[in-house]
Structure 1
Amino acid sequence: MKAIIIDDERKSRNVLKILIEENCPKITEIFQAENLLSGIELIKEHNPRLVFLDIEMPEHSGIEILDFIDKDSYNFEIIFTTAYSEYAIKAFQLAAIDYLLKPVTAAVVSNAVVKALNYLTNSNIHKRLEELKTSLKKDNFSKIGLPYSNGIKFVEFKEIVAFKASGMYTETYLIDGSKILVSKPLKHFTELLKNVTYFFKCHRSYFINIQHIVEYSRSDGGFITLSNTLSVPISNDRKEDFLSIVSAL
């Protein structure tokens, strides 16, 4: 399997190349480019399956790859390398795009490659890049990518009714009545959306959108009915916070 590293810093390219060679046996050929345009030429010439792409480079940033490759020509997965701020990292997470935070380590590289290879069949990388580009331009995020068995579905925060823990997966209930089994644990979403004021963790297994609450009942220990008719329990230690929040609605 071929991979290409695109980074303007030679030292960063060489370090990453060594880490890939030592920890990612499925990658058998690695090519390097010092800028985006040279990297585009290598992509067209070698048809790689993975591209490690620095987000911030002189002349052209990594995200500008959208301007040079037709959307139907993306038969590879991208892993960004970045020293960007927490804000930008959140944009990567919401767009379901993997990234390596510099300085990179062997374990992080190995895990990122495994995840990227799992995405290859249903990558939809062009759409995820568009979402990332949009998010990086905004002051506030409003959309999230939900990885599932057939690809990644992008939804507005407001379209999510609730998240329910299901082992290392999360059942995501949407306003249209559909349910998606997402290949992320519930903790991923509680951390990612902790600053979105209308999401509330009412129970260790549930993270709900309070905008979709229809009814709260004190019977049976207390439960909440949501707009999709889903009934969810509320933990005793969360009732006071919950009542305080809903009283302000």
Structure 2
Amino acid sequence: MKALIIDDEAKARSVMHTMLSEFFKEITHVKTAENLLEGVKFINDFKPDIVFLDIEMPEYSGLEILDFITEPINFQLIFTTAYQQYALEALKLSAIDYLVKPIAIDELKMAIQKAKNNIQEKKVAFQFTELKKAIKSLSSHKIALEIPGEIVFVAHDDILFLEADGMYTKVHLANQKQELICKPLSYFETQLQSNHLFFRCHRSYIINLHYLEKFVKKDGDFLLLQNQTSIPISRTKKQEFLKIVKEVF
């Protein structure tokens, strides 16, 4: 069997390589890649049986793998992540496996045994729809914020509101930090459309209704968040907002 490790952290690649070499004699060849594009090249050339794919990587997330490969997917995919909450619920019922960092040897043994069983039962070729479903589940609770030098994964619940700044977007977080992202507000509206607590109340604002404190019907109408930030609501959005309040709360 051949294995491929795709991870931007040199230590994580080294630890996984050592674990595979010491504990799994059936894995005779191991290659490593430090980013998704290099990993995709190895997938095409090396043709691994198992791919260990880190989710949180700069430039391209592991979740973007489907943008660079085409059917058939002739390998067992095991996601690796340092974010336990991010992985557990999303993948619990999925055919795609995962490991939470730091990776325990017992967990690794179970994941590899599952992969071996799938290979023996000729379940190697994943249906594209199955992998898409798993990635969609992973993506449904967080969004990726691309900032210079890295990608920050932020839980939906940690976002207070998003504010348009020309072709950029300011993402205001519950921890009082904010990130300026080189994408328009409409991009995030699409990313968050599955979460009904996010509402575009104005052409320049999307708010998380979880943090809404008041709807103030004066001074042109505005929404007051728990951190006392006042967010305008446009006339065209007012009735939609009142309807959502009745349905959600």
Structure 1 residues 238 and 48, CA gap change in structure 2 (3 angstroms):
closer
The aligned residue for residue 67 of structure 2 is 99
The aligned residue for residue 141 of structure 2 is 142
Structure 1 residues 179 and 185, CA gap change in structure 2 (3 angstroms):
same
Shift of 1:38: 6.8
**Structure 2 counterpart of 1:221, one-letter code:** G
Residue 60 (structure 1) aligned to one of 34, 50, 53: 50
- SS across alignment from 1:229: coil
Per-residue Cα deviation, 1:59-86 (whole angstroms, up to 9, x for no partner): 224xx145xxxx9xx8x86587xxxxxx
Shift of 1:100: 3.4
- SS across alignment from 1:238: helix
Structure 1 residues 173 and 165, CA gap change in structure 2 (3 angstroms):
same
The aligned residue for residue 160 of structure 1 is 159
The aligned residue for residue 196 of structure 1 is 195
The aligned residue for residue 118 of structure 1 is none
Structure 1 residues 215 and 193, CA gap change in structure 2 (3 angstroms):
same
Distance 1:244 1:152 in 2: 36
Q: Is the 8 A contact 1:79 1:98 kept in 2?
A: no
Q: Is the 8 A contact 1:199 1:210 kept in 2?
A: yes
Structure 1 residues 243 and 152, CA gap change in structure 2 (3 angstroms):
same
Residue 51 (structure 1) aligned to one of 38, 49, 57: 38
Distance 1:79 1:212 in 2: 29
Q: Is the 8 A contact 1:161 1:227 kept in 2?
A: no
**Structure 2 counterpart of 1:53, one-letter code:** V
The aligned residue for residue 85 of structure 1 is none
Equivalent positions of 1:106-185 (< 5 A) are 137=91, 140=137, 141-185=140-184
In structure 2, the gaps of 5 or more residues are 5-27, 72-79, 94-136
The aligned residue for residue 219 of structure 2 is 220
Q: Is the 8 A contact 1:198 1:210 kept in 2?
A: yes
TM-score, normalisation: structure 2: 0.53
User: Are 1:40 and 2:31 matched, yes or no?
Assistant: yes
Shift of 1:129: 10
Structure 1 residues 151 and 214, CA gap change in structure 2 (3 angstroms):
same
Shift of 1:183: 2.2
Q: Is the 8 A contact 2:35 2:60 kept in 1?
A: no
- SS across alignment from 1:244: helix
Aligned residues: 166
Shift of 1:201: 0.6
Q: Which segments of structure 1 move beyond 3 Å, counting only runs of 4 or more?
A: 47-50, 54-58, 76-80, 100-103, 126-136
Distance 1:185 1:98 in 2: 23
Structure 1 residues 208 and 49, CA gap change in structure 2 (3 angstroms):
closer
Structure 1 residues 100 and 65, CA gap change in structure 2 (3 angstroms):
closer
TM-score, normalisation: structure 1: 0.53
Distance 1:51 1:130 in 2: 26
Structure 1 residues 147 and 209, CA gap change in structure 2 (3 angstroms):
same
Q: Is the 8 A contact 1:51 1:77 kept in 2?
A: no
Distance 2:36 2:195 in 1: 35
In structure 1, the gaps of 5 or more residues are 1-5, 7-36, 81-90, 104-125
- SS across alignment from 1:246: helix
Shift of 1:241: 1.0
Distance 2:227 2:66 in 1: 32
Counting aligned pairs with the same residue, the percent is 29
Q: Is the 8 A contact 1:202 1:233 kept in 2?
A: yes
